[in-house]
Amino acid sequence: MYTFATARPAPAGAEPGRARADLQQVHDQSMDLVAAVLETQERLLDLLTTITPYDAARDELHRAVRTLSGATWEIARNDPGRLDRVAVFLPSNNVLYSYVLYGLIPVLYAEEVAIRPSARTRDTALALHETMLARRPWLRGRVRLAEASQRDFVKVGAASDAVVFTGRYDNGRNVLERVGGGPLFLIMGSGPNPMVVGPAADPAESCRALLISRLYNSGQDCLCSDLIFVHRSRLDALLGLLRDQLAGLRVGDRRRPGTVVAPLVYQDAVQGAAEFLAAHREHLVYGGEVNVEEGRVTPGIVVLPHAAGFVPPELFSPIFCLCPYDDVAEIQEWAHTPTELDRGMYATVFGEPGITGELLGTAVIRRDRTTFDAEDGNQPFGGYGPQASSVCLDGELVARPLLLSAEAGRARRRAEA
């Protein structure tokens, strides 16, 4: 762990925010980092599987490699210039992928990246970082992990060119107020990511997509679907397939390949699952047993009578929350409530011709593919709900899909105009 100065470093010979990234150097360094990840993949998988099922950890590693491989294209396209320092509040899940997105990619166009890991997965983040430093010493002094309180790290953020906050929106707004209006400030939050299984959807394909969307990392991911709208004509078929698939899932040791559901990492997620299932016990139609002491939540299916007034929590567990509908207007009404307009991130739509356009409320629509299928670390991420993704520069908070290099490029061009 390191401590950081609270004054911005001044790179020799460069006017802050004006110089361009050297794309040949970006290419060479990004390919060097790809090689480092591949060289250490067994060690990285060992570390990740302390908190993530093996198959999800392997997928995370592949996504990390793919994103690093696309870094030159991303930086050339967005032209972020050279930054002095980026400060990052790292999330507690997808630790390697997040380390790549918010640490290794930004260091290709920043002098320094300061990272505060989540207390929940600090040891894993530290071990991943030390593994990369051992393979690529040139990262030392460029990407640094700080054992700092949020209060102290806020001071680091205030002395940075850009701050990336991942976590709860209210916490992000609080940090933003304390950081002040100087740095570019990105809030990467979450949303309910509803899935729609319409009257023209294929039940088998929808079931496969639903399993991917709900069970990634045992359900512990901000992209997991917390609410599934199912046209009443497809409900029985989907439920039958879903029960059959869940009955055959491998549950248990997260280090074993093929395990889909493992004990949850976060005690509050286990408690939240228990409370949600208890509150909706009359609508539970399958599974849903919880062992709080062992952190175990077996996959469960809840079928709500309607969506009116329902605000899906971030379940972070293998619970499927289905809601039948008869008319697409019911979905539109739900998506346009003030709460859901604030939280709009993604919406997955299968076989529902009544949902047109690119947005469902403020959520970006993904058609016939899951959010995990569509996610691309070199492209903007999120929706148009401020709690899902928003950026603040010069006191203005704007909700839109975000990518740090793209926002840095916009800010640079704005300053130069």
Range list for CATH 3.40.605.10 in the chain:
23-189+388-416
Tens of pLDDT, residues 254-303 = 999 999 999 999 899 999 999 999 999 999 999 999 999 999 999 999 99
Rounded Cα distance, 262 and 245, in Å: 16
15: pLDDT confidence band, cut at 50, 70 and 90?
very low
Tens of pLDDT, residues 127-136 = 999 999 999 9
Burial class of residue 122 in the structure, from the number of CB atoms within 10 Å of its CB (0-12 exposed, 13-18 middle, 19+ buried): middle
- Check pLDDT > 50 for residue 49: yes
CA proximity to 86, closest of 183, 1, 173: 183
Rounded Cα distance, 303 and 79, in Å: 48
How many CA atoms lie less than 13 Å away from 298 in the CB half-sphere?
A: 14
Rounded Cα distance, 46 and 54, in Å: 9
Tens of pLDDT, residues 322-342 = 999 999 999 999 999 999 999
- Residue predicted with more confidence, 192 or 19: 192
SS3 content of the chain, % helix, strand, coil (to 5): 45, 20, 35
- Check pLDDT > 50 for residue 12: no
- Check pLDDT > 90 for residue 377: yes
Contact criterion met (CB below 8 Å) for 389 and 188: yes
Q: pLDDT value at position 19?
A: 67
Structure tokens at 308: 């009116």
CA proximity to 298, closest of 238, 249, 226: 249
Tell me the mean pLDDT in the region 189-209.
97
1: pLDDT confidence band, cut at 50, 70 and 90?
very low
Contact criterion met (CB below 8 Å) for 365 and 344: no
Structure tokens at 226: 């917390």
Q: pLDDT value at position 395?
A: 84
- Check pLDDT > 90 for residue 7: no
Rounded Cα distance, 345 and 51, in Å: 25
What element of type H or E holds 162?
A: strand 162-166
Q: pLDDT value at position 332?
A: 98
Q: Which phi and psi (to 5°) does residue 391 adopt?
A: -130, 140
The 3-state DSSP class for residue 160 equals coil
- Check pLDDT > 80 for residue 8: no
DSSP 217-242: GGG-STTS-S-EEEEHHHHHHHHHHH
Contact criterion met (CB below 8 Å) for 404 and 378: no
Percent of all residues in the chain with a pLDDT value above 90, rounded to a whole number: 89
Q: pLDDT value at position 344?
A: 98
Rounded Cα distance, 328 and 336, in Å: 13
Tens of pLDDT, residues 80-113 = 999 999 999 999 989 999 999 999 999 999 999 9
Q: Which residue has the tokens 């990511």?
A: 193
| CA 111 to chain CA mean position, Å | 25
415: pLDDT confidence band, cut at 50, 70 and 90?
confident
What is the CATH number that goes with domain 195-374? 3.40.309.10
Predicted TM-score (pTM) of the model is: 0.93
Range list for CATH 3.40.309.10 in the chain:
195-374
Q: Angle at CA 146, nearest 5°, toward 144 and 150?
A: 140
The residues near 100 (Cβ < 8 Å, ≥ 6 apart) are 64, 67, 68, 377
- Check pLDDT > 60 for residue 11: no
| CA 232 to chain CA mean position, Å | 31
Rounded Cα distance, 37 and 65, in Å: 7
Burial class of residue 265 in the structure, from the number of CB atoms within 10 Å of its CB (0-12 exposed, 13-18 middle, 19+ buried): buried
The 3-state DSSP class for residue 350 equals strand
Q: pLDDT value at position 57?
A: 97
Angle formed by the axes of helices 150-158 and 169-179, to 10°? 60
Domain 23-189+388-416 CATH (choose: 3.40.605.10, 3.40.50.1370, 3.30.420.40, 3.10.20.600): 3.40.605.10
